[in-house]
Structure 1
């Protein structure tokens, strides 16, 4: 009897796959991969892209209990939590979500996820283009590279403390970030999203 699990991917526009008109982003690549594997005889893993553009962890903790209870597979769920790129952004000098609150929100989300899943993955924040470092963008947000390191360290520490897997996209994309990011300098292009999917494929293989 084949198993059927759900994979729930929570995040912002980078999870949603914005600016990738070729593949639809890393989660959509994984979705197609899992479906192909199912057709080839593997267990079924249905992936839900729950990314919302512009969302911070403040939005996550409001919706995660409802999203989890609405999608709960009998054979188990895997949960990916990918936040921080908006949280660390500053508007008019104030971070949208300060580091301490970011940590608290991520821990709250994990507690909700643990009620539905034993397999929870924390995803790093991506590097952004050097041309944006400390510059106010068209959307009025300012990001600093040092803050990416700070917020990623919070995620790494939480992963260690809670025995969760930390998915390090940051290190993978850092060296070639200027050619893996789209024109806005924040979202990956199709090459960047493709690389992200390649990193996660070995993780989802375990559930197929």
Structure 2
């Protein structure tokens, strides 16, 4: 009899564990009023155009009251949507995501924090750490399925209870220890700001969370200040200066170019990415023939985007001298390295605008020849080409005819039917010598007029 009971009990325990996990991972609605709230939020989500979407429970929901002023103060520059609903568990979030809240809603970034109610509403024998972790993983999987180009900032569940020994705090921390493993730092990123909310001894003050669960205005300010840099870098990427100093070749090139810049006396500067960098490769002979007589500096770096150019200019590449003419082309890596959900044509154009503004600030006497981004891909309808063309439509408006001049060389590099051939760009992106000759001949009249020789 005892031998029969052991497998029976084991099976019962396993069934109980499976049932608990099914609760946390099975999309489940709540009452009728809750469904109406979901429908209202889904209608907002369907409007589209959101850059940041917060998903969670009451702690997220209460940005709309206790944290309202902080939301306005910190997140006004973003198109931010709040999809938090008080008392939700993971299964409720899953139901919402399956019922309209992700329709036409692929933001640049989701900010996700969920799970405290799984632990708070169910005892440990009804909801294990593994159950809550499985529910959160199911949410991440749903986001990956329905919004594959969106990034996710996954938050550690906030602390609760007065002391580190609080049972629910310990359960939340056990979940946090597991869900942080879901971050791949490519699409899913992890952030734990709990230390910022706690006292040095680990206690939770009512001055931050009056009920030891929900932040007040002070708590929301702490939260907002902690995530703001990440939001700026993730959502306003093209205009937020960033470097690539972790790449040895890039660091070495920056140091070399900075040393050259400090020599001063440069009258002509080319600024950009690999296509500009290529004047030292496929365009080397053309450079020598046409620009050798000028004091000319090449500040092109393979793989750079607008944010990298901004960082370089902020860190000395245009300090100590004021060239008469700067030829700028940048942006093909903004559109080429990021999906459309992460980088709109307006984002890229904004990055270029920021570069122009910084040049004007650092070197106000410098004339800028702004080049349209060169065509890429074989056919006019190809997505990378179309995205670059849309950027060009936007940035040509930045020309004022005096300090900033716009020039689009793209048509000269294309066949009459608009196709781009390997004879012009072997990889349909980077010109060979023939392309650099077209470029040089097109800009030489502006160079001669501006430099007076």
3-state SS of paired residue (1:50): strand
Query: Which has the bigger relative contact order, CA under 8 A and spacing at least 6?
Result: 1
Does residue 6 of structure 1 match 2:267?
A: yes
Name the structure where helix makes up a greater proportion of residues: 2
Query: Relative to 1, partners in 2 of residues 1:161 and 1:170: Cα closer, same or farther, differing over 3 Å?
Result: same
1:153 & 1:54 partners in 2: Cα distance? 23
Distance apart, 1:168 and its partner CA? 1.1
Q: TM-score scaled to structure 2, two decimals?
A: 0.36
Match of 2:429 in 1: 186
Q: 1:136-174 CA deviation, whole Å, 9 max, x = no partner? A: xxxxxxx52211210111221122498621121112212
TM-aligned CA deviation for residue 99 of structure 1: 2.4
CA shift at 1:196, angstroms? 0.8
Structure 1 contact 15–50 (Cα < 8 Å) conserved: yes
Q: Which of residues 348, 360, 365 is equivalent to 1:114?
A: 360
Considering fraction of residues, name the structure with more strand. 1
Aligned equivalent of 2:390: 150
Residue 130 (1) aligns with residue 378 (2):
yes
195 and 15 in structure 1: CA distance in 2 versus 1, 3 angstrom threshold: same
Count of aligned pairs:
181
Q: Which residue of 2 aligns with 1:33?
A: 290
3-state SS, counterpart of residue 267 of structure 2: strand
- Structure 1 distance, partners of 2:266, 2:368, is 14
Root-mean-square deviation (Å) = 2.8
Q: Give distance in 2, aligned partners of 1:192 and 1:57.
A: 23
C-alpha contact (below 8 Å) 1:56/1:84 kept by paired residues: yes
Question: SS of the counterpart of 2:318?
Answer: helix
1:99 to 320, 342, 345: 345
C-alpha distance in 1, partners of 2:400/2:412?
Answer: 20
8 Å contact from structure 2 (residues 345, 388) kept in 1: no
Q: Does 1:63 align with 2:324?
A: no
Other-structure match for 1:77 = 324
Change (3 A) 1:47 1:168: same
Separation of aligned partners in 2, 1:147 and 1:104: 14
Q: Distance in 2 between matches of 1:163 and 1:18?
A: 24
Contact 1:86/1:96 (8 A) holds in 2? no
Report the alpha carbon displacement of residue 103 of structure 1 after superposing the two structures with TM: 2.3
Secondary structure of the 1:156 match is helix
Aligned 8 A contact 1:31 1:47 in 2: no
Instruction: Report the Cα offset of residue 102 of structure 1.
Output: 1.8
Determine which of 68, 74, 89 is the counterpart of 2:336. Answer: 89
CA distance 1:97–1:49, shift in 2 (3 Å): farther
Mean alpha-carbon deviation: is it higher for 149-158 or for 93-102? 93-102
